[in-house]
Amino acid sequence: MRISTEDLSSTSFAGPSLVNLYLREIRDAPLLSSSDERRLARLVADGDPEARDLMIRSNLRLVVNVSRHYLGRGLGIEDLIEEGNLGLMRAVESYDPDAATRFSTYAVYWIKQSMRRAIMNQARAVRLPAYLVNLLAKWHRASACLTERLERVPTDDEVAAALKLTKRKHKLALWALEVARAMPGGQESSTASEFALEEMVSDSRSRSVEDQVHHSDCLQRIFRGIDLLDPLEARVVRLRFGLTGAPAMSLQEVAEVMGITRERVRHVERRALARLTSLSRHL
């Protein structure tokens, strides 16, 4: 069975029973070895539609697994799967078969990004000051234009350059993106310390210039606070929230980069966020 972009992007589910039918349908899709992935990726690069469809079908279960981590953030399972499938398609089309990374690791980034973007667009729980909302809107417009022009997803630095952002505004934009992604109710924002940190950059009543300056100062205090953490804590926070200029990483991705366990990363992150919340009151 051929799977086209239109087939997956237009898929909709009326209820749990149809979701279960979908899960049963994709259950028998073949699992690919590393060599299979690279062979198919080369064919995809040459424009082979059958290879593209096989790579998509073989990784649909990965989308479902990732979607479970984003439940309760404003989108239902069917919407998350739809968005994740779009991210999967992008991963299939842009994967480098000569890269050292397995396709599944690469694809998870695109799947998560697609889900997070959809959640951010739908969510009403995230409250950012008006000036940050405007900055994010400009960021997304610039990103979309660059994607069309470059025929790939632009880097954060490319978007910032297109908008002619100062280093300070670039950092504010990256921070606001992560705050918008950290939806209440999800695993990535489940601690009291993290909620307290988010409250420093969200205020539904921010309207005046004075309020905007105040909240900007709060963000700058957070950045200064990170510099006061011990090296391990600071690195975990920067990697988790994308403050290095690279995309934000999951707990597992940080663990792999730093060579420690996922639970160790979680523990360090919680400790760091608690310290940041405390430090911010004195900076």
- Cα 99 from Cα 174, distance rounded (Å): 27
- Compute the distance between CA of residue 35 and CA of residue 37 in angstroms, rounded to an integer: 5
Residue that is written with structure tokens 């779009």 in the block:
86
**Rounded Cα distance, 115 and 106, in Å:** 15
> What is the distance in angstroms between the CA of the first residue and the CA of the last residue of the chain?
60
How far is it, in rounded angstroms, from Cα 198 to Cα 181? Answer: 11
Rounded to two decimals, the pTM is 0.43
Q: What pLDDT does residue 163 have?
A: 92
- State the pLDDT at residue 282: 56
Quote the pLDDT of residue 60.
Answer: 92
Fold of 1-123: Four Helix Bundle (Hemerythrin (Met), subunit A) (1.20.120)
- Contact between 73 and 123 (Cβ < 8 Å): yes
Segments of the chain scoring below 50 in pLDDT: 1-15, 124-126, 183-216
pLDDT digits (tens, 9 = 90+) for 180-227: 555 343 333 333 333 333 334 344 333 344 444 444 455 566 677 788
pLDDT of residue 192: 32
pLDDT tens track for 60-92: 999 999 988 888 766 788 888 989 999 999 999
d(CA 45, CA 243): 32
